[in-house]
Amino acid sequence: MAETLRRVLNLGTSARSGEEDTAEAGPPLLLLGGPGSGKTALLFAAALEAAGEGRGPVLFLTRRPLQSLPRGTGAALDPLRLQKVRLRTLWAGFPWKDCLRYLKIRFQYPPSTHELLQLLCSAHEARGPAPSLLLLDGLEEYLVEDQGPQDAAYLAALLLDTAAHFSHQTGPGQGCGLIVALQTQEEGVSGDALQVSLLQRYFPAQCWLQAETPGPGQHRLRACLDPGGLGPRAEWCVAFRPNGEMTITPWPTQAGNLSLDKGSSSGGQP
């Protein structure tokens, strides 16, 4: 799923590759960042991107309904419109092509770890076409209830198994991708680092979101994408305007800038 996220991050730049393979799902990707680092916005952008590929629907799992649609280029939507998802009101202020893609995104809100595990374990019983992308926002909220590393490993493995089953259903050459967002704590918190290290064993591809401090009133992040050995690492600058709109530009390249260290005590942060 690194390539899907790479396409999303390249959308705001002129650096789109001429060879964009949308067929293969790629390895599962872990999206890491602190609170308010734009993980949900990027997840939703990846959902829109996958929904526009013309394959299966997108399954978006999160504990709570999104209070507002993360905005890339569209106008604002109030929470009531978002939750009702009425065609008549959805079109207002939202780019037409994004509305059509949004309708292919199925949101589900498992309220607890138990409910999430049940949902994943029974995913093969669900009717309808298999999704082309499985997204989970806020993995840390489901891990809080767990007893230890085995429960975290079980949840991660079950996510992979569910995506693998969907891939089997979609057939060869397509597959179902998996992107999971995990909120990380401040650097140096050992419990968080061990959990991240464990999860990294199941998610070969990772994208780190690090906050930068450009100045007052500005919210900027550095997105570092490591596709897990299947492509080059890359970095982008993700900025959020005061109205919530997200803009993405390539990160200025300097010697020695790319320094993802997955084995560090900080849990692999760059």
| Angle (nearest 5°) at CA 226 between 220 and 227 | 130
**How many binding residues for other proteins (CB under 8 A)?**
26
Instruction: Tell me which residues in 6-35 interact with other proteins (CB under 8 A).
Output: none
Which helix (H) or strand (E) segment holds residue 164: the answer is: helix 149-170
DSSP 27-65: S-EEEEE-TTSSHHHHHHHHHHHHHTTTSS-EEEEESS-
Q: Tell me the C-alpha distance between 230 and 4, whole Å.
A: 13
Which residue, 165 or 220, is less far from other proteins as judged by CB?
165
**Residue 169 sits in the site that holds other proteins (CB under 8 A):** yes
**Residue 168 sits in the site that holds other proteins (CB under 8 A):** yes
**Residue 153 sits in the site that holds other proteins (CB under 8 A):** yes
> Which residue among 200, 207, 224, 251 contacts other proteins (CB under 8 A)?
200
Give least dist CB 228 to other proteins, A.
7
Which residue, 40 or 167, is less far from other proteins as judged by CB?
167
**Residue 150 sits in the site that holds other proteins (CB under 8 A):** yes
> Which residue among 185, 197, 249, 264 contacts other proteins (CB under 8 A)?
197
Instruction: Tell me which residues in 207-266 interact with other proteins (CB under 8 A).
Output: 228-229, 262-263
Instruction: Tell me which residues in 88-147 interact with other proteins (CB under 8 A).
Output: 124-125
Closest CA to 106 of 33, 169, 50, 155: 50
Give least dist CB 78 to other proteins, A.
39
* Sign of the dihedral defined by the CA atoms of residues 114, 120, 124, 129, in that order: positive
Which residue, 12 or 56, is less far from other proteins as judged by CB?
56
Give least dist CB 152 to other proteins, A.
9
Q: Tell me the C-alpha distance between 90 and 78, whole Å.
A: 10
Strand order in the sheet with 205-212: 105-108, 58-62, 133-137, 177-183, 29-33, 205-212, 219-226, 234-240, 246-250
Q: Tell me the C-alpha distance between 210 and 187, whole Å.
A: 11
Closest CA to 177 of 82, 65, 17, 49: 49
Give least dist CB 86 to other proteins, A.
33
* Contact positions vs other proteins (CB under 8 A): 124-125, 148-150, 153-154, 157-158, 160-161, 164-165, 168-169, 197-198, 200-204, 228-229, 262-263
